[in-house]
Structure 1
Amino acid sequence: MYKPTYFYQYLTTFTALLTILTGGMHYAWPSPSLPQLTSNNSSSLQITNDEGSWIIIMELISPIPSCFLGAFIVDLIGRKKAILLSAIPYFLSWLMIAFANSELTLGAARLLAGVSDGIAFTVIPLYIAEIADASIRGLLGAAISVSWISGMLFINVVGAYLSISTTALICSVFPILLVLTFIWMPESPYHLIMKHDIERARIALRKFKGRSDIEDELSRLQEAVKTQNQKNASVWDLFRKKNNQEGLRIVAIVRNAQQMSGVAAISFYTLSIFNEAGDFISPFTATVIYVSIQCFMTAVCSVLIDRTGRRPLLIASLIGSAISLFVLGTYFYIKDFTTIDISSFNFVPLLALLGYVIIFNIGAQPIPLLIQGELFPTNVKALASCFSEVYFCIIASMVSKLFQTLRDSFGMYLPFYGFAVCSAVNLVFVIFFVPETKGKTLEEIQATLGVKKSKSARKLVIAQ
């Protein structure tokens, strides 16, 4: 027997998250690229603002069908092969962007990238939740958002200095790195047990746990998989069983809290927002500062989350987000619709957005993906991840398109007021309906869901 170590859990998570890193690059690609495409002299290919808004949401539309593909193949071919498969559309989409000569090609490339998004965000939270020890599951789960935002930072920096084609070719390297590194990592022990490959599950557990005495753990997983897979799951099982219903409600609440605060629209239009805010600082510098802090604060959350728990960070995040967004909306209203001289306050948009990104990324950004991987039994986990991704794509698409429409029709202030109100409303739902999952095994979490609670029991859950 040797000293336990989590080395393989960290290594496997790091290599798997190269696909999320690539997804973050695609997601934020419009921020440095749209200003080039919509200006009159920055790019040989020119598009209108409306065409740009449709190109943006293409990557939010295609994950809706592709996540069903992810839910199907994750149990058929396994978590590992599904993650490797996501590299192919990502790679091809970067090549399409690099050599695009029309807005249709760019839209098609974004659609193709969305196929990988659907697969990756269905499989990755599930895979990490299954391989991670309960004591570090919050850290590894929050690393999904850290990787996502790191990709956003990378594309904003590189895309600001290089052409669209050169940037796309550089980004195409990352899907290749995913294949070259992750191919050597173990499959999820849960999946191997589901496929009755006990010996490979035993080997994988020894690697992930960093010790040889894993028979008790293996027996626990076998019993859990047997209990949770007594019959094949259907889509309707997500909606019929009490524990799954409760899980879906929680996922919908935290996804609403995340997306209705406007994070997708702000990510897509960061450079444009700072362009309209004033000349206190250059839009590019402000954007890089914004995304850098976003990345740093998500990393801070990944460290704190297993100590403080999910609920306190999520609640604090929504309170701060509502305040920051309200301040930002007020600034734009005064600037565009009054005669008040605010030249002495042109630093407010930067401070408000930095305040938003600091507090939002301490909880509301990373926690929904983490919770998504914790709440469901193995027989419906893939379907639940699929539902969460579909719901995310619908909400993010609507919010992003609505942002562009409201901004163009009424002014920049109205979307931010709307985001502030939504953050406040979703805060109430989080306080009363989202339980704490810190430090619990996946089986313990299942045991607490769907149980009819007395008032005292509900108070206990909320207080946890």
Structure 2
Amino acid sequence: MFIRITGVKKQVLVSLCLYVGQIAIGYYAAWTGTITPKLQDPEQSPIPYNLTETDLSLVATIVYIGAIPGPYLSGWLSNTVGRKPCLIAGAALGVIGSCILSLATNLAMLYCGRLLLGFNGGVLAVMSIVYIGEIASTNIRGILLIVIGICQTIGTILLFLIGPFLSYSGTTFCGFAMYVCVALGALFIPESPIYYILKGDDEKVKEVLHDLGRSEDIDKLLSVKKEYVQTSSMKDWSELFTIRSNRKAFFIAFVLSSLQNSSGFLVVLYFCASIFKMAGSSLSTDLSMIIIVSFQLIGSVLSSMFVERVGRRIMLLISTFLCSLSMFLLGLYFYLNSVDPSLVEKVKWFPLLILVVYFIAYDFGFGVVPNVIVGEMFTSNVRSKGSTLTMTLAWLWGFFVTTGCGILLEIVGGHVIFWFFTCVCAGAFLFAFFFLIETKGKSLLEIQELLNK
């Protein structure tokens, strides 16, 4: 039944398979939000000894380090053996990593499982963007790419809905089941037409494009085949920086991705228990996070509705402005609380309200537009390389920022940390205003022409 589906329906169905992997990535990205209290409780923790704050902080953020080598390996393999085998391998890594995490009995196993899940996330995050960007028709490409971020949000919501009511093993095993589904589903997806162009297989290009309902793109892609085949034989990264459009694309994608990874989103997810404890909230951390991530879905849904209507640039400007304002007000609350707790005694609900606004705004643009930009801006023959370098450098930066903020949160005070995030989001607003080009409704070739100007 699966192989008989063709056209746009097939593009959507193939993307759905990969979206399950993004749900799992979102699930494990927020994993420590509900697992940390369990690891601190001797009756629930699978670890027979107490973990320090530094141990817990590293368990949360070490996924960044694990993510770094994944895209480099898959970036090379994607042009050598294909995009599809890389997606299958990425899902398999998720199966292994989540299995180790489910069975963990010591800190080393926690680190190992989180590292492998980071490795898996690095492969799937980049390859899903590259793959969907290459199989999708121009009129739905933005929507299919932006749903990647929505699915990660769904994974986060799923974790906070079921995590508080399951054991450590039960919570972790749910992610394992998702990765098994992705690994099996990835066996049946078609190879990317761009991979066949790089290999000079015209018949396969025609066959896949017909199957995907993109027959009108056959002549257009085959007309530039020689350029792709010629550049694909160059086994170095120089073309990423010597070609003007790629150089400009890397600059835009890297800056936006780095700012995204240091905007405060992951700090709230990883260290939500500490934040609400410092804020003196009367609601439990689990209930607060369920409320927050449920509203976060609103931002994700809005982003899918507007991405092909108002465009990527306007969405990002609105999102980063609201994120910056939210972080400023949250920092102000923590500052007043540190000066005189009585000043905020009657507004203990304020941090929850501000974080709801922040999460909606984040998922409306800042959380999803950078992924779309990475999937749209590079030339086809270096898309894997550009995506790899962009994401891994951004993750490395995110690891240092998130780990540092997690350790410093209770030392320097929440107001300092959140005002830092205010500056990051404000910087993203200014960068988008001055440097980001609009890609809505443009083919990948038209985007390259704009970048070359």
Which range, TM-score by smaller chain?
over 0.9
Rounded to whole Å, the distance in 1 between the matches of 2:312 and 2:229 is: 28
- After superposition, the CA RMSD in angstroms is 1.8
Rounded to whole Å, the distance in 1 between the matches of 2:423 and 2:174 is: 40
Q: Is the 8 A contact 1:38 1:49 kept in 2?
A: no
1:209 counterpart letter in structure 2: G
Judge which range, 137-146 or 333-342, deviates more: 333-342
- Specify every segment of 5 or more residues in structure 1 that has no aligned partner in the other structure, as ranges: 452-464
Secondary structure in 2 matching 1:17: helix
Q: Is the aligned partner of 1:227 residue 2:227?
A: yes
| CA displacement at 1:248 relative to structure 2 | 0.8
Cα gap change, 1:274/1:366 in structure 2, threshold over 3 Å: closer, same or farther?
same
TM-score by length of 1: 0.92
Secondary structure in 2 matching 1:307: coil
Runs of 4+ displaced beyond 3 Å: 39-42
Secondary structure in 1 matching 2:365: coil
Q: Is the 8 A contact 1:153 1:291 kept in 2?
A: yes
2:55 counterpart letter in structure 1: E
Q: Is the aligned partner of 1:104 residue 2:116?
A: no
% identical aligned pairs:
27
- Give a deviation string over 1:369-394, Cα, whole Å, max 9, x none: 11101111122111001012212211
| CA displacement at 1:411 relative to structure 2 | 1.4
Secondary structure in 2 matching 1:125: helix
| 2:3 aligned partner | none
- Give a deviation string over 1:111-162, Cα, whole Å, max 9, x none: 0111111211221111111111111111000011111121122222222111
- Give a deviation string over 1:64-92, Cα, whole Å, max 9, x none: 12211010111112111111111111111
Q: Is the aligned partner of 1:47 residue 2:48?
A: no
Residues 20-169 of structure 1 mapped to structure 2, 5 A cutoff: 20-45=22-47, 46-169=50-173
Q: 1:435 aligns with which of 434, 437, 450?
A: 437
| CA displacement at 1:412 relative to structure 2 | 1.7
| 1:180 aligned partner | 184
1:123 counterpart letter in structure 2: M
Rounded to whole Å, the distance in 2 between the matches of 1:280 and 1:393 is: 34
Q: 1:419 aligns with which of 407, 418, 421?
A: 421
Rounded to whole Å, the distance in 2 between the matches of 1:284 and 1:192 is: 48
Q: Is the aligned partner of 1:218 residue 2:222?
A: no
Cα gap change, 1:225/1:292 in structure 2, threshold over 3 Å: closer, same or farther?
farther
Rounded to whole Å, the distance in 2 between the matches of 1:114 and 1:345 is: 38
| CA displacement at 1:40 relative to structure 2 | 5.0
| 1:274 aligned partner | 276
- Specify every segment of 5 or more residues in structure 2 that has no aligned partner in the other structure, as ranges: 1-5
| 2:325 aligned partner | 323
Q: Is the aligned partner of 1:391 residue 2:358?
A: no
Residues 222-371 of structure 1 mapped to structure 2, 5 A cutoff: 222-231=222-231, 232-233=233-234, 234-371=236-373
Rounded to whole Å, the distance in 1 between the matches of 2:324 and 2:389 is: 27
Rounded to whole Å, the distance in 2 between the matches of 1:320 and 1:296 is: 15
Secondary structure in 2 matching 1:287: helix
- Give a deviation string over 1:230-265, Cα, whole Å, max 9, x none: 333421221222111100111022113312311121
Q: Is the 8 A contact 1:57 1:401 kept in 2?
A: yes
Rounded to whole Å, the distance in 2 between the matches of 1:416 and 1:65 is: 30
Q: Is the 8 A contact 1:132 1:140 kept in 2?
A: yes
Rounded to whole Å, the distance in 1 between the matches of 2:113 and 2:183 is: 20
Secondary structure in 2 matching 1:47: coil
Secondary structure in 2 matching 1:370: helix
Rounded to whole Å, the distance in 2 between the matches of 1:275 and 1:378 is: 48
TM-score by length of 2: 0.94
| CA displacement at 1:396 relative to structure 2 | 1.4
- Give a deviation string over 1:300-320, Cα, whole Å, max 9, x none: 202210111000000011110
2:97 counterpart letter in structure 1: S
Rounded to whole Å, the distance in 1 between the matches of 2:52 and 2:225 is: 52
Q: Is the aligned partner of 1:194 residue 2:202?
A: no
- Equivalent residues, number: 445
2:21 counterpart letter in structure 1: T
Rounded to whole Å, the distance in 2 between the matches of 1:273 and 1:105 is: 27
